[in-house]
């Protein structure tokens, strides 16, 4: 049960931040700006089945889950490893490799789901967003696991704190804008759309928007679960070879 010790460590540090309302507000403000700017600015012009606002709300929830899960683990590991050296205390502990990664990933999942749920509640209150179905809830959990594990890989890989922003610029930002969150992938040129279709955020959005379990939603869940497994295994391997 060593993973619980790591998870509780990460959560204690996270709750200290969440206890600071300024942190919660600043984290929630970006998705809200997206929601207002795109919802009010483009609302009438983007034609989507079922209306643009429900489409946008689900996309923003997907982005929020992705960004928060990823940032929690990537920054916790990279800053703790390279800047404050607090990650040393984890490495010095006898907790096993897989347990360390699981503890870190689970804390990322909690942050992703917390802010995802917060945005959903806000969208429900201000924009009358519909209730999420089982596919949406499973999608949020799998998405949080996938991006949290991806963040752990990045945190362990980077050799300099600035490298995390490179990953943000080359992977997270393109996924934010070309992952089907703000407009359907069909609106993109065929080639670009095909590449964007490979982004895991696309699978997360598909699950959040899906009305029930079918071939597409099962495939999307399978992709997220497979990627989670791959990132998790990669993280364990990287951690087992940790050396300063």
Q: Which spans of this chain sit near other proteins (rule: CB under 8 A)?
A: 2, 5-6, 8-9, 12-13, 16-17, 84-86, 88-96, 241, 243-244
Residue 4 buriedness (CB in 10 A; 0-12 / 13-18 / 19+): middle
The C-alpha atoms of residue 51 and residue 58 are separated, in whole angstroms, by 12
For 165, phi then psi, to 5°, come to: -70, -30
The tokens 């502990």 sit on which residue? 93
- Nearest distance from residue 27's CB to other proteins, in Å? 16
Cβ neighbors of 213 (< 8 A, separation 6 or more) are 134, 135
- Nearest distance from residue 171's CB to other proteins, in Å? 28
Residue 231: name the closest of 121, 91, 76, 69 by CA: 69
Asked if 202 contacts 196 with a C-beta cutoff of 8 angstroms, the reply is: yes
The sign of the torsion formed by the CA atoms of 215, 220, 225, 230 equals positive
- Nearest distance from residue 97's CB to other proteins, in Å? 9
Give CA separation, 92 vs 13, 138, 140, 229, 234, in Å.
Answer: 18, 35, 33, 26, 20
- Nearest distance from residue 108's CB to other proteins, in Å? 17
- Nearest distance from residue 98's CB to other proteins, in Å? 12
């Amino acid at each position: 049960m060593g993973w619980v010790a790591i998870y509780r460590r990460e959560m204690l540090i996270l709750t200290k931040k969440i206890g600071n309302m300024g942190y919660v507000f600043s984290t929630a403000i970006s998705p809200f700006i997206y929601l207002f700017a795109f919802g009010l600015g483009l609302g009438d012009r983007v034609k989507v089945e079922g209306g643009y606002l429900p489409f946008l709300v689900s996309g923003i929830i997907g982005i929020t889950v992705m960004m928060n899960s990823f940032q929690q683990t990537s920054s916790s590991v990279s800053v703790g490893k390279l800047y404050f050296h607090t990650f040393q205390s984890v490495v010095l502990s006898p907790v096993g490799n897989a347990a360390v990664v699981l503890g870190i990933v689970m804390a990322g999942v909690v942050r992703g789901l917390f802010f995802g749920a917060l945005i959903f509640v806000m969208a429900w209150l201000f924009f009358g967003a519909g209730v999420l179905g089982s596919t949406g809830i499973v999608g949020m959990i799998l998405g949080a696991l996938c991006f949290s594990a991806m963040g752990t890989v990045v945190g362990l890989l980077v050799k300099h704190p600035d490298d995390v922003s490179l990953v943000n610029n080359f992977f997270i930002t393109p996924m934010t804008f070309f992952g089907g969150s703000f407009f359907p992938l069909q609106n993109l040129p065929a080639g670009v759309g095909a590449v964007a279709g490979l982004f895991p955020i696309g699978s997360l959005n598909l699950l959040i928007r899906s009305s029930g379990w079918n071939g597409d939603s099962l495939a999307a869940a399978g992709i997220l679960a497979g990627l989670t497994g791959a990132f998790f295994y990669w993280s364990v391997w990287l951690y087992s070879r940790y050396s300063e």
